[in-house]
Structure 1
Amino acid sequence: MYLSPSRAKSTLFVLFAIGISGTTAAFATPSKSIVGSLPQRVVSITRQSADNNNPFSEKEAIESTADGIPRGGANINKPPPKLPSFSTYRKFALPCLGLWVAQPLLSLIDTSFVGLSGDKATSAQQLAALGPATTFIDGSVYLFAFLNVAATNIYSTARAQQGEQSDKAESVVRTASRVALRSGIGLLLFLLAFARPLLSLYIGHGADNSPDLLDSAVDYVNIRALSMPTSLLSGVIQAACLGAKDSVTPLIAIVYSTAVNVVGDFLLVNKLGMGLRGAAIATTLAQWAATAALLGPARKRLVRDRSLGLWKKPESKADTVSAKTFLGFAAPVLTLIMGKLAAFGFMTHAAAAIPGQPTPLASHQIILSLFFFASPFMEVISQTAQTFIPGYLAPVADHISKRKEIDPSYDSTKDSLVKPWNQAAFDVGNSLLKIGFSVGVVIASLAGMVPAFRGGLLTSDATVQEAVKPLAKYLLAGAFLTAPVAVSEGILLAKRELKYLASIYLISTALLPSALVRVKVIGGNVEQVWACFAVFQLFRATCFGGKIWLPSLLRKVNGMLSHSKKKPAMK
């Protein structure tokens, strides 16, 4: 099949995500069966925890975990633990929110200071360069967010199995720190080596027509690349702190980084007029400050000898958690993240090709920054689902596995012990969906109001302010639909519906670039780019939500129809 040059350029951008993911392969190559065996591995961990201790009673199952969070190992012969309250969700989700919101917050601060500094022409030009630059940086860090997810999960499991200061728990921290630091160094070298050609490909024809735009974007990426090792390291340390039920230290680190970034942008961008370079330096210093604020408390809190083993693996035989095990656990999450990055990458590529630059790319950058800032408020609910729901599903999976070993013809749908546990997991999903919709309405409305009524907060260019106004409705729709997408995705991850998730991401990630390339070919506008994204979000929300709630809805409808048919006969 013929592949046009423009389509080839867009397709090649996906190699950016693939290339970065290759840096982790130098440390561990998960086996081909790792994804398929993941559910059983999780079950075996739960089973081992139960075998090493006395069977839990209902009360013990609740009290044995912080804030009553059930984490599996419960006795399925007992009623399922009480459903978590809103207060329990809040106590878990708020610290996690800090992890999700920190990176886009730094980019949003840079966008604001750059957009408000200098004259109108300079402001628009700098914003246009900031778009692809921050997408590259934020996308690179987000690609490695699976390290944070793995650190929290594996560390929490190790603590539950062997105690807070066990060799295995400390091994998780050391392994996570080593993998993150080495991945960060690999990412640093990758960005320094390939930033210019990738950004040139990313921007498209605009790179030839506006060489200053490309130079500014490359400068920003090269400076921000210096913070990649510490950025990834601080991410896993924060995640381990959350696993240790320490939410104060990560929040303090985020306050440090935000304060340093604001002060740095004010001095370097506003006062010294360093523009994009000043913003990049300020953000890099902010990330270094956050890591420095974390290292001391983390060594005291997480490891007894105060050594994170960053450069060399300890010789202790008790240090049993390998990098291969760590990265293998996170492989499914990485797959989903790469699909998301491809979508945002193609959006910025399409916006960069729209005539009339730099206004289209500048307006796209503002909306993209606002979306990246809003989405963590919904994404954190996905993480909450992945933490709470397995506590109800893992005992069921363990019970079913044992019963099938005894009786191959066993049918779990007819087992009266299984139903209440599955129903409890379903109820947790329902409650999180309600929370997600509530949060989505508030956050999406606030985000949409900025370009619609307060564009001057992010740019002094009147042309760009007018250009972002019609994009407000698409930002509102895309941000709101992120709520059902995130909640459903978290539930499906908890249920280990990995093949279904991968298939939907494969389909949607194939369709969205095709639509965006079409927008580029016909010389469309930024509104069409963001309209495509809103449809993309709607498609994912429908597919994910339908997988979870459609069977239950159909059963209710069938029950109502059956009941209505029986009524005349009863008369």
Structure 2
Amino acid sequence: MGGGAAQLLHSPLRITQASQGVKDGKIRGRRSKPQASCGSDFLRFGNSSLNLDLVKHSSRFHSGSIRLERDCNNKLLRDHGRTRGRIVCSAENSSEGAQLSSEIPPEILVATSLNTDSFYPGVDVGAFENVEDSSNSEAIDRSSGGKALASAVAAAVIVSDVAEELKVQQEESNADSTEPQGDEVALDQELLDSMANQEAAASLLGTEDHTKSLFEQMKEILVFAGPALGIWLSGPLMGIIDTAVVGQSSALELAALGPGTVICDQLSYIFMFLSIATSNLIATALAHKDETEAAGHLSRLLFISLFCGVMMLLITEAFATQMLSAFVGSKNASLIPAARSYVQIRALAWPIVLVGMVSQSACLGMKDSWVPLKVLGIASAVNLIGDIALCSFLNYGIAGAAWATMASQYIAGILMLKSLGDKGYNPLAISIPSWNDFTRIMKLAAPILLTMLSKVCFYTLITYLATSLGAMTLAAHQVMYGVFCLSTVWSEPLAQTAQSFMPPLIFGTNRNLKQARSLLRTLVVIGIVTGVTLSTVAVLVPWLFPQIFTREPAIISQMRSVTVPFFLCIWITPSILACEGTLLAGRDLKFLGFSMVSCFIGGGLLLLLLNKLGVGLIGSWWTLMTFQSARFIQSYTRLTGRNSFLSDDPLPASGASVHLKTA
């Protein structure tokens, strides 16, 4: 074979932007200004067979364009059908397009079983998010991963058809003569042998059924989510231990925990955008088999988390009194000294809290939930022992609870960093992100930050309005909110499962949207069952076990008054997190941010209205129920709608083309 085939394999691929044009009754890409010349012999738009001359054209092959065309009666790539393609070389190239990669993506290796040593000196999957499909094939997929996969499938079909045509030609040649045809024939046969694996091509194109059964999905989810559950339980469990221990000694300090935990814990949820970005970026990089990219993401996110932690430490220590005064108001000024003591001690842990958050999410993105579980199990034990020793025996009160929590957070963070080292990632090799790296991270993180900020602001507004109802009502809200957080965190593994398992199904080399939709349905069903169980158990606390937290009759009465909305809020939360975790995995971040902001605005206005009408604490909890319901309806509707990244909307019936440009 001439050098053309090798040039095809080694050339960078580009998807070019093109508008529709019609020639000979078929849709074509409209050509723009001339950029190269391949010679008139190679311009064969009307040829329905493979242009073998182009493949053998060596010297100037790189200056032409490659185009895969499909007639309207072909099976469609989105339906995973086998497509017949052909190569054409244009003297007037399509317009400039975004570069996909400096080498052909590894999906083609799966499709063709190419000898990587002979034909691929290195494979680098780059800048998938910059790829744009042609204007007359917009239905291929709107997600960046889908576009990249569509291009890989197109190229796989091309090289597969090259092999098929060359094989036919070789058989005809062998029938005419048994004479060896020199090195060119030998190279042809070597390429044919390496590209003959049609089963692998079928695997890429999805003609084999890789959809797992419900039982298999449930098993995978439980194996991952079981340990992950312990991870997510750790934080609220520490909080509920603090609440129980402090509440036994002082009702005033129990009330002071409300604003104290808002500043220490609720503000930390704002930085969950770092956690989610870490899990998403690393899971996606590993789905593309790129550990180097995963390590780069981790080093940059560790730096960002450390920087944010140090800044939060300085801000909290300097302005704790002002923040608490603005939060509790003059009517509850008696809460400030106890709350300030709690906040300033807990603030010492800000840097390790955020660094540990990123480290934990990195492990989860690697689908390792056991190591974080062991680490946080140790931390929770330290917190429990410290609370009992410092509060119950040494009578340090709320300050003792803060010291115990802070110590446990440092232990957890250090052990998480050590676990990254055990996995081969250097936790000390943090790097300052370049502007391009920072921009890329923020494109993912900014909508998540907006989402978390809206959620935290709404929860904070509920607690803020509860402070205006008196210390007893605030104490009751603090207990019920603590039980709510502890209950709903049981559903966090559903969100983490979606973020860890969905990216390979949406973007990876084994992309399978059918299985992704099946996984979503499984997660929602698990969420419904989990929600009923959790809410049933949670409502027993104010009715049967209120003495765990307080013996004040006024506080217990307020706790019981919110039973119905409290039950419904917990019941719906697991399904919400399953849907929102899937949106995060699919990087439908703009919609998620818009959805959360709209829920916050609507819920906030309703909260203020009910507070002005004097409805009391029960009005706040009914508003929380409305807020949760709106989140579920919007996210589930988005995922099951036609515009969902999980949908399999067919390509236009008139046909479409994927344009590939070699350079």
Return the alpha-carbon distance in structure 1 between the equivalents of residues 372 and 240 of structure 2. 20
Output the amino acid matched with 2:341.
Answer: D
Return the alpha-carbon distance in structure 1 between the equivalents of residues 510 and 414 of structure 2. 42
Aligned residue in 2 for 1:143:
270
Deviation per residue, 1:358-399 (Å, 9 max, x gap): 10000000111111112222232123223334444447999x
CA positional deviation for 1:527:
1.4
Return the alpha-carbon distance in structure 2 between the equivalents of residues 112 and 49 of structure 1. 57
Deviation per residue, 1:32-68 (Å, 9 max, x gap): x99x99975544776899999x99x99999xxxxxxx
Aligned residue in 1 for 2:117:
none
Aligned residue in 2 for 1:530:
621
Which residues in structure 2 correspond to 1:15-26 (within 5 Å)?
none
Tell whether 2:173 aligns with 1:173.
Answer: no
Return the alpha-carbon distance in structure 1 between the equivalents of residues 283 and 148 of structure 2. 12
**Partner-residue secondary structure (3-state), 1:175:** helix
Stretches of structure 2 that go unaligned for 5 or more consecutive residues are 1-128, 134-140, 157-193, 644-663
Aligned residue in 2 for 1:334:
449
Aligned residue in 1 for 2:228:
96
Distance 1:158 1:451, change over 3 A: same
Return the alpha-carbon distance in structure 2 between the equivalents of residues 47 and 198 of structure 1. 52
Tell whether 2:452 aligns with 1:346.
Answer: no
Return the alpha-carbon distance in structure 1 between the equivalents of residues 371 and 416 of structure 2. 7
Aligned residue in 2 for 1:284:
406
Return the alpha-carbon distance in structure 1 between the equivalents of residues 295 and 580 of structure 2. 30
Return the alpha-carbon distance in structure 2 between the equivalents of residues 140 and 271 of structure 1. 31
Return the alpha-carbon distance in structure 1 between the equivalents of residues 218 and 384 of structure 2. 33
Aligned residue in 1 for 2:373:
251
Aligned residue in 1 for 2:552:
461
TM-score (norm 1): 0.73
Aligned residue in 2 for 1:418:
none
Return the alpha-carbon distance in structure 2 between the equivalents of residues 251 and 155 of structure 1. 19
CA positional deviation for 1:160:
4.3
Please say if residues 389 and 491 of structure 1, whose CA atoms lie closer than 8 Å, have aligned partners that are also in contact: yes
Tell whether 2:496 aligns with 1:383.
Answer: yes
Aligned residue in 2 for 1:14:
none
Query: Which of 634, 641, 661 is the equivalent residue of 1:543?
Result: 634
Query: Which of 212, 219, 224 is the equivalent residue of 1:82?
Result: 212
Distance 1:464 1:269, change over 3 A: same
Output the amino acid matched with 2:283.
Answer: S
Tell whether 2:422 aligns with 1:295.
Answer: no
Aligned residue in 2 for 1:430:
521
Please say if residues 162 and 169 of structure 1, whose CA atoms lie closer than 8 Å, have aligned partners that are also in contact: no
Distance 1:247 1:489, change over 3 A: closer
Distance 1:59 1:97, change over 3 A: farther
**CA RMSD after TM alignment:** 3.5
Return the alpha-carbon distance in structure 2 between the equivalents of residues 392 and 150 of structure 1. 18
Return the alpha-carbon distance in structure 1 between the equivalents of residues 362 and 420 of structure 2. 9
Tell whether 2:611 aligns with 1:479.
Answer: no
Deviation per residue, 1:256-300 (Å, 9 max, x gap): 111111111111111121111111111001101112222333223
Tell whether 2:445 aligns with 1:445.
Answer: no
**Partner-residue secondary structure (3-state), 1:459:** coil
Aligned residue in 1 for 2:242:
110
Return the alpha-carbon distance in structure 1 between the equivalents of residues 267 and 200 of structure 2. 42
Return the alpha-carbon distance in structure 1 between the equivalents of residues 260 and 637 of structure 2. 36
Write 1 or 2 for the structure with the bigger share of helix: 1
Stretches of structure 1 that go unaligned for 5 or more consecutive residues are 1-32, 62-72, 399-420, 553-571
Aligned residue in 1 for 2:325:
200
Return the alpha-carbon distance in structure 2 between the equivalents of residues 267 and 49 of structure 1. 61
Return the alpha-carbon distance in structure 2 between the equivalents of residues 296 and 463 of structure 1. 48
Aligned residue in 2 for 1:11:
none
Output the amino acid matched with 2:257.
Answer: L
TM-score (norm 2): 0.64
Please say if residues 495 and 580 of structure 2, whose CA atoms lie closer than 8 Å, have aligned partners that are also in contact: yes
Name the % identity: 28
CA positional deviation for 1:492:
3.3
Return the alpha-carbon distance in structure 2 between the equivalents of residues 130 and 359 of structure 1. 13
Return the alpha-carbon distance in structure 1 between the equivalents of residues 415 and 436 of structure 2. 26
Query: Which of 228, 240, 261 is the equivalent residue of 1:134?
Result: 261
Please say if residues 99 and 235 of structure 1, whose CA atoms lie closer than 8 Å, have aligned partners that are also in contact: no
Distance 1:212 1:519, change over 3 A: same
Tell whether 2:316 aligns with 1:191.
Answer: yes
Please say if residues 173 and 308 of structure 1, whose CA atoms lie closer than 8 Å, have aligned partners that are also in contact: no
Output the amino acid matched with 2:252.
Answer: Q
Return the alpha-carbon distance in structure 1 between the equivalents of residues 552 and 388 of structure 2. 19
Please say if residues 228 and 373 of structure 2, whose CA atoms lie closer than 8 Å, have aligned partners that are also in contact: no
Return the alpha-carbon distance in structure 2 between the equivalents of residues 43 and 359 of structure 1. 54
**Partner-residue secondary structure (3-state), 1:226:** helix
Distance 1:344 1:435, change over 3 A: same
CA positional deviation for 1:138:
1.4
CA positional deviation for 1:431:
1.4
Aligned residue in 1 for 2:579:
488
Return the alpha-carbon distance in structure 2 between the equivalents of residues 46 and 512 of structure 1. 40
Deviation per residue, 1:132-175 (Å, 9 max, x gap): 21122211221111222222232233344456xx5433323322
Distance 1:154 1:95, change over 3 A: farther
Return the alpha-carbon distance in structure 2 between the equivalents of residues 550 and 389 of structure 1. 18
Aligned residue in 2 for 1:500:
591
Which residues in structure 2 correspond to 1:31-50 (within 5 Å)?
40-43=143-146
Output the amino acid matched with 2:299.
Answer: R
**Partner-residue secondary structure (3-state), 1:102:** helix
Return the alpha-carbon distance in structure 1 between the equivalents of residues 478 and 408 of structure 2. 22
Return the alpha-carbon distance in structure 2 between the equivalents of residues 102 and 39 of structure 1. 38
Tell whether 2:428 aligns with 1:308.
Answer: yes
**Partner-residue secondary structure (3-state), 2:205:** coil
CA positional deviation for 1:130:
0.4
Aligned residue in 1 for 2:120:
none
Please say if residues 383 and 407 of structure 2, whose CA atoms lie closer than 8 Å, have aligned partners that are also in contact: yes
With 459-468 and 124-133 compared, the bigger mean Cα shift is at: 459-468
**Equivalenced residues, count:** 466
CA positional deviation for 1:320:
12
Return the alpha-carbon distance in structure 1 between the equivalents of residues 344 and 278 of structure 2. 28
Tell whether 2:486 aligns with 1:373.
Answer: yes
Please say if residues 569 and 624 of structure 2, whose CA atoms lie closer than 8 Å, have aligned partners that are also in contact: yes
Aligned residue in 1 for 2:383:
261
Higher CA-based Rg: 2
Distance 1:98 1:332, change over 3 A: farther
Distance 1:391 1:293, change over 3 A: closer
Return the alpha-carbon distance in structure 2 between the equivalents of residues 60 and 107 of structure 1. 52
Please say if residues 448 and 593 of structure 2, whose CA atoms lie closer than 8 Å, have aligned partners that are also in contact: no
Output the amino acid matched with 1:371.
Answer: F
Please say if residues 124 and 464 of structure 1, whose CA atoms lie closer than 8 Å, have aligned partners that are also in contact: no
Which residues in structure 2 correspond to 1:57-68 (within 5 Å)?
none
Deviation per residue, 1:299-334 (Å, 9 max, x gap): 23232xx45224x559xxxx9994443343333322
Distance 1:160 1:515, change over 3 A: closer
Distance 1:75 1:183, change over 3 A: farther
CA positional deviation for 1:186:
1.4
Aligned residue in 1 for 2:96:
none
